[in-house]
Amino acid sequence: MRRLSLTARLFVVYTLFVALAGWYVLRLVLQEVKPAVRQSTEETLVDTANLLAEIVRDDLVAGRLVEGDLARVLQSYGSRRPGAQIWGINKNDVTHRIYVTDARGIVLLDSAGIDVGADYSRWNDVYLTLRGEYGARSTQAVPGDEGSTVMYVAAPVRDGDRIAGVVTVAKPNRSVQPFIARAERRLVYLAALLVAMGLIMGAAASWWLSRTIRRLTHYADAVTAGERAALPQLPGGELNQLAQALETMRDRLEGKAYVEQYVQTLTHELKGPLAGIRGASELLHQDLPRERRDRFLDNIDAETVRMQSLIERLLHLAQVEQRRGLEGPEPLQLAPLVNELLEDIAPRLARAQVRASASVPAGLAVLGERFLVRQALANLIDNAMDFTPPGGCLRIDAALEPGVRAPLIAIRVVNEGQPIPEYALPRVMERFYSLPRPATGRKSTGLGLSFVREVAQLHGGRFEIANGEGGVQATLWLPESAAHPIPT
């Protein structure tokens, strides 16, 4: 079974926490909604009962309550139709029930007109009020039906220090139930919305963290593969610190490994020329004919030139491989640059009996460092010339081609000669790998094509070499100067 990633596990934990916390808080709030509404209703009933107690006091004490206007008022009140709309809920009936009892608890007036003359002295609202206490009760109108509960709140009618009667105001809880249900629905909706927003934010944070980790992982994989990867710019101080720490570790490890590798390689490559020079110098100490002496001196000169070329090319390659970007890229006109290179090697071309032709459109320019581009083209031309037989032709052309992100200029160097053996094609761009030159049978330093590949990558281009009809074609792609500037 595939294990969840770190970000997925964090999101699952976050989701569970948000869901459980939201459910728990919502449950507590919903438990408080109904009591809060009923407490508010009870407080209103207290005020209403005390107001009515003051209104009926004179008539009750004088014994004319039944004959007074209150009976008519209560009857009219019971038949009113408010037609009110309260926060989207229609109220078409009055729901208060009002009754008045005397000092014995006998009902004198009842807005519902159902219990006049009944003895209410045992009900808590009347019983407690007549004793001078706060009188209130909740009673189910239909026994066993919680939804039929009615709240009763009473206030005393005082005649001096004596309680002459009781006024009770009742309100069924079903009349406030629509408001409770509405509040609960809104709370559930808001809670669901908040949980959804929390989950979206958590998902966004998990995606952002996962994307950041993937960028660091891709960077580490690219470094491991030996690619010239740029350090990703990450948001957040801690993540940037981690990226910088990885970059520092990379530089130190690469620097150490790079020095060790190149010291070993250079030592190995210099053994051959040094052995040849030492052997020739030992023989020169002997009394040799002039012919042999000149030949040994020529060998020493050749091996010295070979060593110098090896060191120079190795230094150039090392400099390019260790760089992370270009320094001052500029537009470079290709046609003058190619003509300049062909003029420099014209004597060598003549000696080798090799013809060279260039077909580079005027105005075609690449964006790059002049030294690196010139050296890369020089390496390609030198390599092509070495493998072109006498009487053969070396061709250079360039053309603008579409790229993935920006247009690229394809520079092709084609030579007429034997194709590269199949076993050697995958290795021709490796450092120090070289094939024998047809004219001399000797190998080169094996650094030229590796240098070209590094220059291509540094400029954001690419380099390929392949066999073609009647020869070998090397293609170097570099960015057009009109394209966006290369990051430095």
d(CA 402, CA 65): 103
How confident is the model at residue 313, as a pLDDT?
58
How confident is the model at residue 123, as a pLDDT?
92
Q: Which amino acid is at 135?
A: G
Q: Kindly give the pairing relationship between strand 355-359 and strand 393-401.
A: parallel
Tell me which residue has tokens 């979206």: 200
Domains plus CATH for the chain? 6-181 (3.30.450.20), 234-324 (1.10.287.130), 326-488 (3.30.565.10)
How confident is the model at residue 110, as a pLDDT?
87
Nearest to 101 by CA among 128, 121, 71: 121
Average pLDDT, 10 consecutive residues per value, the chain (488 residues) = 65 77 75 76 89 88 79 70 68 80 91 87 92 90 80 92 92 78 78 80 77 75 65 64 66 50 54 68 72 73 68 60 67 90 87 88 88 85 86 90 80 88 83 71 70 83 87 90 52
How confident is the model at residue 169, as a pLDDT?
92
At residue 102's C-alpha, the angle toward residues 101 and 108, to 5°, is 50
Contacts of 105 (CB under 8 A, 6+ apart): 119, 120, 121, 122, 123, 126, 127, 130, 166
